Amino acid sequence: MTDVVEAAPGDALPIVVIPVGVDDAVLDGCLAALEATTPASTRVWLADDACGGPRVRDVVDAWLATTRMSAEYGRRPRALGEAAHLADVLRTCGDADVVVLADDARPAPGWLTRMTRCLRESPHATSVTPWSNAGETAAWPRLGDVAPLPDDPSRIVDALAEAALPSQPLPAAVGHAVLLRGSACRRVGGVDATSYASWYAALIDLCLRLQAFGGVDLLCMQAYVGRLDEGHPADGDLDRVAARWPHWNARLAEFLMDDPLRAQRDRIAAVLAERAASDAQADLFGASP
């Protein structure tokens, strides 16, 4: 059984920030998945950097009228740009822990409670990332690949819970869904929107600054958030990351070549196979003659 979507009494969940894009159908899918998998009364901020047109606003208004979340929508009069927009949003959230959820993400059951638990149980963690089909270093089932969205993500999250693997470090967080420890981000100055245009690159830089002060970026082994595609850097952003952090490219390449999470992915795959075999056997013996 997957996690119920209600939080335990007294649990304070992070703020979920969704940067609103231009595609109304993509956003509608994200909000539908969020509604089905996230505890009621979760604080959600739909942050529009003057991107969404009238059809996006229709999707937002329809969702706001029916959601169980404590949700707000805000639209800037003029666009700041991706990194600058999120820098300002996170600055407004102060010391609060925040999940930045891509607007093409598809959260699976239990995603937010499991990520929150991971952050609380890991005092040195400054970010938590879940597995994803398009998660780059956090990709499932193959490292670095973009796989199709799963037909039944609940099967994956059930297997993740059964495997019960401990969190593992990542080179940096990944942008499909990242839970940030707000107090730590504020101490290192937040998102650098002066140097970077994209959230993709600004997130790498933020994580590396947090690591310089003892922070750790963790992969939550029991949470899953799908995504339609990977994030992308703006032109020149990765050059600026490499100039500021000369070790980054080599470190990322080493992670991709060594694949330190292979054993964990193999274990999860084995659990999925065992569950599939058990289900098939139950169907066989439960079938009518």
pLDDT of residue 123: 96
Whether residue 205 is predicted with pLDDT greater than 80 in this model: the reply is: yes
pLDDT of residue 142: 94
Could you tell me the pLDDT band of residue 268, with boundaries at 50, 70 and 90? very high
Whether residue 179 is predicted with pLDDT greater than 80 in this model: the reply is: yes
Nearest to 236 by CA among 206, 272, 200, 209: 200
pLDDT of residue 173: 98
Number of neighbouring beta carbons within 10 Å of residue 246:
9
Q: Which helix (H) or strand (E) holds 267?
A: helix 262-286
pLDDT of residue 278: 79
What's at 231, amino acid-wise?
Answer: G
Nearest to 39 by CA among 61, 70, 6, 86: 6
Single pTM value for the model: 0.93
Whether residue 288 is predicted with pLDDT greater than 70 in this model: the reply is: no
For 15-286, the fitting CATH number among 1.10.3430.10, 3.90.550.10, 3.90.25.10, 2.60.40.1840 is 3.90.550.10
pLDDT of residue 283: 58
How many residues are given for the chain? Answer: 289
| DSSP state, residue 74 | E
Nearest to 144 by CA among 256, 265, 249: 256
Calculate what percentage of the chain has a pLDDT beyond 70. 93
Whether residue 2 is predicted with pLDDT greater than 50 in this model: the reply is: no
Q: What phi, psi does 171 have (nearest 5°)?
A: -60, -35
Cα–Cα distance measured from residue 94 to residue 140, given in angstroms and rounded to the nearest whole number: 32
Q: What is the pLDDT of residues 79-110, one digit of tens each?
A: 999 999 999 999 999 999 999 999 999 999 99
Longest dimension (CA), the chain: 70
Whether residue 1 is predicted with pLDDT greater than 70 in this model: the reply is: no
Q: What phi, psi does 285 have (nearest 5°)?
A: -80, -20
**190 HSE (CA, 13 A, CB side):** 19
Average pLDDT over residues 235-243: 98
**Distances from the Cα of 61 to the Cαs of 46, 55, 76, 86, 194, in angstroms?**
11, 10, 16, 22, 33
Q: Average model confidence (pLDDT) for the chain?
A: 93
Number of neighbouring beta carbons within 10 Å of residue 191:
26
Cα–Cα distance measured from residue 40 to residue 165, given in angstroms and rounded to the nearest whole number: 27
Q: Are the CB atoms for 33 and 131 separated by under 8 Å?
A: no
Average pLDDT over residues 244-253: 98
Q: Are the CB atoms for 156 and 271 separated by under 8 Å?
A: no
